[in-house]
Amino acid sequence: MEHADLLPLFPLQTVLFPGALLPLHVFEARYMDLATRCLKEGTVFGVNLIAEGHEVGAPARPYEVGVSARIVEWDVARPGTLDIVTRGERRYRVLRSEHGANGLLFGEVEWLAEAPHRAIPDNCQPLVELLRAIVDDAGRARLPEPHDFGDAGWVGLRFAEVLPIPAQAKQALLELDEPLDRLEIIRQFLDQRGLLGERMAKSGKRG
């Protein structure tokens, strides 16, 4: 882990994963100021799932583990609003938080270690084929490059991103430090629902 930094936070009812795209429609003054400053200075802000509270109004209490977000696209849809697309970068843990004068939440964060590269275990190979099909169906705009189908961390994060599961379950997957643990949980989840067996059967028919 690295030294603590003070990071502006954007609590949301969604989980951002490293490498994932997250579009946001910004209209509250505190977040307009945040986005404008990040664009001007080339800096990032933090996205945390809300544990208690709401996205609009009084500051919400977020989960401790979040992901830094960098703005990669922006557009002024109409005066007083800003449409941005962010991309998740690094995980961090909030050590303590404080509120700025305009209600913006700041967190003193420690950056969590980058996940090591892990090869895909043999029993998880069907996940790779399924994810390739998902990427083809969703398009590169939804799941952009770089792709790394040989890395358990990247494959697991992409499944955690696209699976239709509750936000709290996504948060639990985000908080896992070991990529193989995340991938195994996802494999069991899909296997229990017959999705991997179905995929393997279709693959066998094509062969």
What residues are paired with 74 via a beta bridge?
Answer: 84
167-175 and 152-162 helices cross at what angle (nearest 10)? 170
Strands 45-52 and 4-12: parallel
> In which region does residue 31 sit, left (phi positive, over 0), alpha (psi from -120 to 50) or beta (all else)?
alpha
Q: What is the pLDDT of residue 122?
A: 95
Q: How many CA atoms lie within 13 A of 159 on its CB side?
A: 27
What does pLDDT average to over the chain?
A: 89
Q: What is the pLDDT of residue 172?
A: 98
Q: Where are the beta strands (DSSP E) in 100-151?
A: 105-111
Block mean pLDDT (10 aa), the chain, length 207: 78 96 93 93 96 72 96 89 96 93 90 94 95 86 89 97 96 97 97 75 44
Cβ–Cβ < 8 Å for 67, 47: yes
Q: What does pTM read for this prediction?
A: 0.89
Q: How many other CB atoms are found less than 10 A from the CB of residue 141? A: 8
